[in-house]
Structure 1
Amino acid sequence: MLTKTQSCSIFCRRFYNQKSVDLSDPSIRKYLNYLIVENETLVAKEDKSSAEVKRLREIKPVVDIVAQSNSFKSLRANKEDKGDEKVKEMIKQETRIHQTRDQELHRRLQCTLLEPCLIDSGVLLQLTARKGEQATQFAEILYQLYTTYAGYKNWDVDRVSLDKSSVLGINKASMLISGLGALQLMSFEAGIHEKIPNASETDDAQSSHVHVAVFSQPNDVEWNIAPSEMVIDTGIPSSPDHFTAYTKYTGVRITHIPTGIVVRCSEEDTCVRNEEIAKQTLRTILFHKMLVEESLNSNTEGKSLDCSKKLEKIRTYDFCEQVVMEHRGDASARYNLEGFMQGKDYLESLQDNLLREQRYQALMADIDAVLKKDKTDNIGKNQDKVQEIFAFF
Structure 2
Amino acid sequence: MPRNFRIKDCFRSVSLFPACLSAMMQSLLLLRSARCLWTRGALLRTPRRPASSGSPQLEELFSGGGAMRNFLERLTGPGVQAHFGVKEPELAMAARKLREKEQELQEIERLLEDENEDLRKLAENEIISCQKELTKLKQKIILLLIPSEETDENDLILELTAGVGGQEAMLFTAEMFDMYQRYATYKKWHFEILEYFPSEIGGLRHASASIGGPEAYRHMKFEGGVHRVQRVPKTEKQGRMHTSTMTVAILPQPTEINLVINPKELRIETKRASGAGGQHVNTTDSAVRIVHLPTGVATECQQERSQIKNKEMAMKKLRAKLYSMLLEEETNKRYSARKIQIGTKGRSEKIRTYHFPQNRVTDHRISKSLYDIQSFMLGEYLLDELIQSLKEYADYESITEVISERC
Does the aligned pair in 1 maintain the 2:222–2:335 contact within 8 Å?
Answer: no
| Structure of higher CA gyration radius | 2
Does the aligned pair in 1 maintain the 2:98–2:137 contact within 8 Å?
Answer: no
Bigger drift between 117-126 and 27-36 goes to: 27-36
Bigger drift between 285-294 and 359-368 goes to: 285-294
Deviations 1:174-198 (A, max 9, x none): 2222322322322222222111123
Aligned with residue 230 of structure 2, among 196, 199, 205: 196
1:121-270 equivalences in 2 (<5 Å): 121-130=154-163, 131-198=165-232, 202-203=236-237, 204-233=240-269, 236-237=271-272, 239-241=273-275, 245-247=279-281, 250-268=286-304, 270=306
Once the two structures are TM-superposed, the CA of residue 284 in structure 1 deviates from its matched residue by: 1.6
Deviations 1:131-188 (A, max 9, x none): 4111111110111111111111122222221111133311111222232232232222
Counterpart in the other structure of 2:32: none
Counterpart in the other structure of 2:71: 31
Counterpart in the other structure of 1:304: 336
Counterpart in the other structure of 1:8: 50
Query: Does residue 344 of structure 1 match 2:386?
Result: no
User: What SS does the aligned partner of 1:365 have?
Assistant: helix
Counterpart in the other structure of 2:133: 105
Once the two structures are TM-superposed, the CA of residue 227 in structure 1 deviates from its matched residue by: 1.6
Q: What is the root-mean-square deviation of aligned Cα atoms in Å?
A: 4.0
Deviations 1:105-147 (A, max 9, x none): 3211222344677942222222111241111111101111111
1:79-98 equivalences in 2 (<5 Å): none
User: What is the one-letter code of the residue matched to 2:188?
Assistant: N
Query: Does residue 325 of structure 1 match 2:348?
Result: no
Does the aligned pair in 1 maintain the 2:247–2:342 contact within 8 Å?
Answer: no
Does the aligned pair in 1 maintain the 2:155–2:212 contact within 8 Å?
Answer: yes
Bigger drift between 334-343 and 156-165 goes to: 156-165
Counterpart in the other structure of 1:290: 326
Counterparts of 1:218 and 1:29, CA distance in 2 = 38
Once the two structures are TM-superposed, the CA of residue 278 in structure 1 deviates from its matched residue by: 1.7
How many residues align? The count is 329
User: What SS does the aligned partner of 2:317 have?
Assistant: helix
Quick one: higher RCO (CA 8 Å, sep 6+), 1 or 2?
A: 1
Report the CA distance shift for 1:303/1:185 in structure 2 as closer, same or farther (over 3 A): closer
Once the two structures are TM-superposed, the CA of residue 6 in structure 1 deviates from its matched residue by: 11
- Using the size of structure 2 for normalisation, the TM-score is 0.67
User: What SS does the aligned partner of 1:180 have?
Assistant: coil
Counterparts of 1:94 and 1:244, CA distance in 2 = 73
User: What is the one-letter code of the residue matched to 2:153?
Assistant: D
Aligned with residue 153 of structure 2, among 99, 111, 120: 120
Percent of aligned pairs with the same amino acid: 25
Counterpart in the other structure of 1:65: 94
Does the aligned pair in 2 maintain the 1:123–1:182 contact within 8 Å?
Answer: yes
Report the CA distance shift for 1:214/1:63 in structure 2 as closer, same or farther (over 3 A): same
Unpaired segments ≥5 residues, structure 1 = 44-55, 76-91, 372-393
User: What is the one-letter code of the residue matched to 1:31?
Assistant: F
User: What is the one-letter code of the residue matched to 2:132?
Assistant: E
Once the two structures are TM-superposed, the CA of residue 33 in structure 1 deviates from its matched residue by: 6.6
Query: Does residue 281 of structure 1 match 2:310?
Result: no
Does the aligned pair in 1 maintain the 2:324–2:337 contact within 8 Å?
Answer: no
Aligned with residue 399 of structure 2, among 354, 363, 366: 363
Counterparts of 2:267 and 2:70, CA distance in 1 = 56
Report the CA distance shift for 1:175/1:64 in structure 2 as closer, same or farther (over 3 A): farther
Counterparts of 2:96 and 2:306, CA distance in 1 = 55
Deviations 1:343-368 (A, max 9, x none): 00000000110110111121112112
User: What SS does the aligned partner of 2:242 have?
Assistant: coil
Once the two structures are TM-superposed, the CA of residue 309 in structure 1 deviates from its matched residue by: 3.6
Report the CA distance shift for 1:243/1:141 in structure 2 as closer, same or farther (over 3 A): closer
Bigger drift between 96-105 and 179-188 goes to: 96-105
Deviations 1:309-333 (A, max 9, x none): 44521112122233222222135x1
User: What is the one-letter code of the residue matched to 1:22?
Assistant: F
